[in-house]
Structure 1
Amino acid sequence: MLPSLEIFKNIPCPDSPHCKRPQCIFAHGQQPTSSTSTTTSSVIPNKRSRPNPSHQQPKQQKQHQQCSNPSKALNVKKSTTSSRPIARSISSPFGKDPSDRVAHVATFTGPPTIKADISSHTALKIRQTISDKLYEHYRRIYPASIHGNDVAAQRTQDQEQAILTSTSNTAGYKQQAMTILMQLKKKEPEAAKTVTSKTETNNGDDGGMDATFLNTLVLTESQLDAMQYPPRTLLDHPTPAVTKDPQRTCDRCKKPFTVKAILDAKDVKACQYHFGRLRVSQSFGEKLRTYTCCDDTLGSLGCEKGPHVFKEEQVDKLHAGLPFVKVPPSSSSSRPETILALDCEMGYTTLGMELIRLTVINANHEKILDELVLPSHMVIDLNTRYSGITTLAGVKHNLVSIRQALFDLMDPTTILLGHGLENDLKALRIVHDKVIDTAALFPHPHGLPYRYGLRMLATKYLSKFIQTGSDGHDSFEDAGTCLELLHEYVRKHKPSSLQ
């Protein structure tokens, strides 16, 4: 049997006075309290001492004698207690009473550390990276000198957890996180919010951007020509007569076909094409050009069927089909916008590509116009894969009325912003030379005709993922991304004298 530590030697035995243990670890009766040294020695046990069997029997006899007269023992105990205070009789083997310990209170001194969670759908490393970026923004928005050290860290922890809860996979987590980061990037410190709001109100419809600097970003005449914008000289000549050209080349399968005003059942499935792009891949060490839609090689039959469609590129033929107009002077009593970001969605008709949706936002990222448009010719394909439009039910505008709604918001001095905006102006049949094109703000290193796509620019300069859905583009998202790219360009290139 292992030696006793005598931890319980001052605790009354629960079986007393009928205890039958030969070496009981509990106390039997009152301990002698004749002197302070005796009490102190009984409190502090000797861990190395082993009980002596020779003295055990007299001790037990003495204890039984005391227990035979309970009232006397009780009186002795009361008198002893009242005469002097008794020290704590139980000593913790850890040196301090556990009940006196105080729980540790966490204090934030930096980015919160994300704890590992096996139920999380996103890797710990990704979550920690997002948390660090969120903390950088919150530390700027809520300075420690004003709000304390814990506010930024606590908001970071809450925001990261909210992103994780609202998403179901890693891709969604990243997308949501980038959206939140972009919103925080635009948010200004809490201490300067009152002053800044006054400045934004005074700037009005330019969103806080200097109008003088914005005019330096407008495309020059040579840039407009190089990017094939509708020229101003187009309106100097009378509208040419419409020339019917029934033979066209399909924009999808590149085969010639005859344009018909009404399609039959055979025409609806006449085109067999690949909607994906070509890419170079390797198979057993051999480089192959395959399509992203189905991984079939170049020259294979298309994986999708549909009607033959075409897109007219020549401006004079577009002008002959539906005439271009210039922006008239403002007739509205309200002040015209300084800058508008717009994006158009087009569908295929018997005339080529026509406008089927227009979305316009102002410099404050507010949607001020978003309408479906009824084409002037028979619709062949709504181009849903890219336009995101499945039906024109409930349409209220045609080209003329939607164009007038746009003119009510602007005048000839208003700057139009977009990506590849020449296509949008051709669809609107508008001639306008006050244009900022994000494809020109962030040019391809090889120059025209090479261009970066809007999706790539958003990822590279805004750390934002757009056009990720399978149900087509969102024109409001595309227009808003152009506005964010402009803000990013102004932030990096605006001269210090205009700051």
Structure 2
Amino acid sequence: MEYSRANTVPYPPRPEPPEGPAPSALELPPNGAYLDIFQSLLEPTSVLQKHGYRFQQLTDAEIHEKRRCTLQQLTKGLKKALLDGDQQATSADMHPRTWPTMLIYYEDGQTDVQPSTVPCRYHSAAVDRTTKCWMCCGEPVSKATPCNGTNVHKMREYRPSELDRLHQIHETPRFHPDRATSVKFAVAIDCEMGTARNGDSELIRLSAIDYLTGEVLINNLVKPDQPMLHLNTKWSGVTWDQMNEAVRKKTTLKGKSGARRLLWKFVGPDTVLVGHSVHNDLKALKLIHPRVVDSYVVEHKIIEEKKAIEAREKKASEAAARRIEEFLPEIAGLADGHESSLTTNSQMVGNSTTATDGVPKKKKAKGTGDLALKTLLKKYLATDIQTKGNKGHDSLEDATAARDLVHWMVMRILQERDDKTI
């Protein structure tokens, strides 16, 4: 077959077109106050770390803990599964038993057997993609309890540097060969993740837009680095048909490293990343980037400041009440009598509600909490997003929504400042 340049697919691939209206450019005030306020929303790394951000690469020990058993679907934290020799000996003397073990392979070809606190649990057959059930037991994929087990964990054999390639996190580089003049002041991003067969969360889609202009920079599926268990379609919005078609057409990004490289074309060390709970996106991308405006963090800070004000006001009110009791004994006596009456009434109310104490609270659906992006968009911008139900989210819609929410937050601060100067 004759090679035809016309039949080749460019890489990186062009962004997929939006399903709905394309993001629009922001309308900014004529002075520079907007950008000053926008950058004031950047938080120091010490604050971001409290919200799940990480700013150091994984150590060799942490990388080593990412090893997985060949059978067990979810082996999290091998460190927790190991017993030290003294504890094993003591327990074995008191309660003779056969301890589960781990068979571990090393790069030099040697093997080792170590004790484990837990047996290996796994499903012995694959998933039927039609019924979305395990073929070994017929249970749905969402059922967490594996149906088979053994006392021997057989650890996967890893190629040299494979664990590092899969799990190490990377800083945004200062230089990128394709960056040139394409670097942006701020970029809004959102990622979607599926679940690999070993239980790891795996990047499957990346969307990114220019914060100021709304230009769609990236909107592509990502070919997973690992064999997948399921694509979490209910949340990610990505189906197997879409993934297989994109792989066939070669329009996917090549794993997490390919997604990072394309993002780095537009994102330099000084670029501000915008989003909602951006630490989840950075974790999916295996990326370290400290310049972040996170709408979740902004709203959380406002709520915490309001709580602190209310706590101070309550404390001041209680202090004032104590002073009244100290200087006006008569009023204090009346207050005591009234308090006694209130106590009796409150006990009656308490007794009347005891019967409902054991009733569990209704669990909120995922993504519908008070600080969820969907909730905040509806509350502040009267905009509905994520309306497809079980068909999942649209990462481009979510990236745009987070951009619009941050823009609204900046404009709110500007308005509050203007109101104070009047």
If the TM-score is normalised by the length of the shorter chain, which range does it land in?
A: 0.5 to 0.7
Q: 1:384 aligns with which of 233, 240, 253?
A: 233
- Structure 2 residue aligned with 1:472: 392
RCO (CA 8 Å, sep 6+): is it higher in 1 or 2?
A: 2
Residues 302-339 of structure 1: CA deviation (Å, up to 9, x unaligned): xx9225579xxxxxxx9784211110114322151111
Closer/same/farther in 2, CA of residues 260 and 477 from structure 1, 3 Å limit: same
Q: Distance in 2 between matches of 1:237 and 1:211?
A: 40
- Structure 2 residue aligned with 1:50: none
User: 1:257 touches 1:308 (CA, 8 Å); kept in 2?
Assistant: no
* Structure 2 residue matching 1:215: 3-state secondary structure: helix
| In the alignment, structure 1 residue 493 sits paired with structure 2 residue 413 | yes
Q: Distance in 1 between matches of 2:134 and 2:124?
A: 15
Closer/same/farther in 2, CA of residues 244 and 187 from structure 1, 3 Å limit: closer
Q: 1:434 aligns with which of 291, 311, 328?
A: 291
* Structure 2 residue matching 1:360: 3-state secondary structure: strand
Q: Distance in 2 between matches of 1:186 and 1:333?
A: 24
Closer/same/farther in 2, CA of residues 353 and 337 from structure 1, 3 Å limit: same
Q: Distance in 2 between matches of 1:407 and 1:477?
A: 21
Paired-residue identity, %: 27
Q: 1:354 aligns with which of 199, 202, 205?
A: 202
- Structure 1 residue aligned with 2:279: 422
| In the alignment, structure 1 residue 394 sits paired with structure 2 residue 242 | no
Q: Distance in 2 between matches of 1:319 and 1:485?
A: 36
- Structure 1 residue aligned with 2:47: 223
Partner amino acid, structure 1, of 2:404: E
| In the alignment, structure 1 residue 328 sits paired with structure 2 residue 173 | yes
* Structure 1 residue matching 2:217: 3-state secondary structure: strand
Task: Give the Å deviation of 1:222.
Answer: 2.4
Partner amino acid, structure 2, of 1:221: T
Task: Give the Å deviation of 1:218.
Answer: 1.2
- Structure 2 residue aligned with 1:23: none
Q: Distance in 2 between matches of 1:249 and 1:260?
A: 11
* Structure 2 residue matching 1:459: 3-state secondary structure: helix
Partner amino acid, structure 2, of 1:456: T
User: 2:57 touches 2:168 (CA, 8 Å); kept in 1?
Assistant: no
Partner amino acid, structure 1, of 2:193: M
* Structure 1 residue matching 2:56: 3-state secondary structure: helix
Closer/same/farther in 2, CA of residues 305 and 418 from structure 1, 3 Å limit: same
Closer/same/farther in 2, CA of residues 236 and 250 from structure 1, 3 Å limit: closer
Q: Distance in 1 between matches of 2:418 and 2:175?
A: 34
Q: Distance in 2 between matches of 1:320 and 1:257?
A: 26
Q: Distance in 2 between matches of 1:235 and 1:488?
A: 36
* Structure 2 residue matching 1:480: 3-state secondary structure: helix
- Structure 2 residue aligned with 1:214: 38
Closer/same/farther in 2, CA of residues 234 and 346 from structure 1, 3 Å limit: same
Partner amino acid, structure 2, of 1:455: K
Q: Distance in 2 between matches of 1:360 and 1:209?
A: 25
Residues 277-325 of structure 1: CA deviation (Å, up to 9, x unaligned): xxxxxxxxxxxxxxxxxxxxxxxxxxx9225579xxxxxxx97842111
Partner amino acid, structure 1, of 2:205: R
* Structure 1 residue matching 2:246: 3-state secondary structure: coil
Task: Give the Å deviation of 1:404.
Answer: 0.5
Residues 17-76 of structure 1: CA deviation (Å, up to 9, x unaligned): xxxxxxxxxxxxxxxxxxxxxxxxxxxxxxxxxxxxxxxxxxxxxxxxxxxxxxxxxxxx
Task: Give the Å deviation of 1:441.
Answer: 1.3
Give the alignment's TM-score, normalised by structure 1: 0.45
Residues 103-161 of structure 1: CA deviation (Å, up to 9, x unaligned): xxxxxxxxxxxxxxxxxxxxxxxxxxxxxxxxxxxxxxxxxxxxxxxxxxxxxxxxxxx
Task: Give the Å deviation of 1:372.
Answer: 0.6
* Structure 2 residue matching 1:333: 3-state secondary structure: coil
- Structure 2 residue aligned with 1:269: 133
- Which ranges of structure 1 fall in alignment gaps of 5 or more residues? 1-175, 189-195, 272-303, 311-317
Task: Give the Å deviation of 1:496.
Answer: 5.2
Give the alignment's TM-score, normalised by structure 2: 0.53
What is the RMSD of the two structures over their aligned residues, measured on CA atoms? Answer: 4.2
Partner amino acid, structure 2, of 1:397: L
Q: 2:184 aligns with which of 328, 337, 340?
A: 337
- Structure 2 residue aligned with 1:483: 403
- Which ranges of structure 2 fall in alignment gaps of 5 or more residues? 1-19, 77-118, 146-162, 308-368
* Structure 1 residue matching 2:63: 3-state secondary structure: coil
Q: How many residues align?
A: 259
